[in-house]
């Protein structure tokens, strides 16, 4: 598949605020966001967004989550370089879940795997379907 590097156009404030009004954040003011690699369709991870992290994502074009453990904005890849460029944003019929189509640089998972969803059971035994990626030189 090709990887068109479409130029990201930052959302206008009005459009961002209109979207925030449509979405249903939970009692913690968070909404779950699924990250999917835009061309391969691979589901990479699920994390949470606050209104502020979604605003930043739509202005910058790079995905920013809300870290529940650190209670802080989590600019994906800020330290590792494994950024998620936003290709398209979708939301569901109830407005309570986001689907982020992204272009993931390197691994999405902190275990250095492309996707966080590598655990499965085969013949009654838990297995890792993928191995950590080799480190970049």
Sign of CA dihedral 98, 103, 37, 88: positive
Q: Coil, strand or helix: which one is 61?
A: coil
CB-nearer residue toward a second copy: 89 or 133: 89
* Beta carbon of residue 36, minimum distance to a second copy (angstroms, whole number): 6
Considering only 30, 59, 60, 117, the residue that binds a second copy (CB under 8 A) is 117
Q: Which of 91, 105, 106, 133 binds a second copy (CB under 8 A)?
A: 91
The verdict on 78 binding a second copy (CB under 8 A) reads: no
The set of residues, in sequence order, having a beta carbon less than 8 Å from that of 127 and lying 6+ positions away, is: 119, 120, 121
Q: Which stretch binds a second copy (CB under 8 A): 49-57, 59-67, 71-79, 83-91?
A: 83-91
Compute the least distance from the CB of residue 52 to a second copy, in Å.
19
100 alpha carbon, distance to own chain's centre: 6
* Gap between the Cα atoms of 101 and 42, Å rounded: 10
The residue (of 61 and 95) whose beta carbon lies closer to a second copy is 95
Calpha distance 11→86 (Å, rounded): 12
Nearer residue to a second copy within complex by CB, 78 or 90: 90
């Amino acid at each position: 598949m090709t990887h068109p590097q479409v130029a990201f156009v930052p959302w206008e404030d009005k459009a961002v605020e209109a979207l925030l009004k449509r979405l249903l954040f939970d009692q913690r003011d968070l909404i779950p966001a699924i990250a999917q690699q835009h061309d391969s369709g691979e589901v990479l991870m699920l994390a949470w967004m606050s209104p502020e992290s979604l605003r930043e994502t739509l202005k910058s074009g790079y995905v920013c989550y809300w870290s529940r453990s650190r209670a802080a904005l989590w600019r994906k890849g800020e330290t590792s370089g494994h950024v998620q460029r936003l290709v398209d944003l979708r939301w569901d019929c109830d407005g309570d879940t986001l689907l982020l189509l992204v272009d993931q640089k390197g691994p999405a998972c902190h275990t250095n795997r492309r996707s966080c969803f590598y655990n499965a059971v085969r013949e009654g035994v838990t297995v890792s379907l993928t191995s950590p990626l080799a480190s970049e030189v």
